[in-house]
């Protein structure tokens, strides 16, 4: 989490969408699910209805300068958008 936060804050306010790219290292335990938890908050399940929700402990809410994170895993590009970003990428940016 620290490195993503450092990269997001490195350039200061850009007034442009900021994307951070990651490449999955097979020697670590970090993958798409861990990135989702990091960005959007950990997934939790209430006792009464068992429908999952995300806790408010994600990085995305606290770093609105970050527009999205892209991850390369097994030759596939995975895109994780920050719904709380100050500057979002155009919807056709990845076409």
Residue 95 lies in a domain: no
Residue 89 lies in a domain: no
Residue 7 lies in a domain: yes
Residues 53-68 have pLDDT tens digits of 889 898 888 888 889 9
Residue 65 lies in a domain: yes
Residue 6 lies in a domain: yes
Percentage of the chain beyond pLDDT 90 is: 15
Which band of pLDDT confidence, cut at 50, 70 and 90, is reported for residue 81?
A: very high
Residue 13 lies in a domain: yes
Q: Which residues pair with 53 in a beta bridge?
A: 44
Residue 52 lies in a domain: yes
Q: Which range marks the domain in which residue 34 is found?
A: 2-81
Residue 87 lies in a domain: no
- For all residues of the chain together, what is the average pLDDT? 85
Which of 63, 65, 45, 62 minimizes the C-alpha distance to 53?
45
Give the angle 54-29-77 at the CA atoms, nearest 5°.
Answer: 75
Give the count of domains, the chain: 1
The predicted model scores a pTM of 0.78
């Amino acid at each position: 989490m620290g490195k993503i936060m450092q990269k997001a804050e490195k350039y200061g306010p850009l007034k442009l969408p900021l994307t951070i790219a990651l490449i999955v290292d097979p020697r670590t335990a970090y993958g798409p699910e861990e990135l989702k938890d990091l960005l959007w908050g950990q997934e939790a399940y209430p006792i009464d209805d068992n429908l999952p929700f995300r806790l408010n402990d994600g990085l995305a809410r606290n770093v609105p300068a970050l527009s999205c994170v892209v991850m390369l895993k097994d030759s596939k590009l995975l895109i994780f958008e920050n719904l709380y970003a100050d500057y979002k990428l155009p919807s056709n940016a990845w076409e």
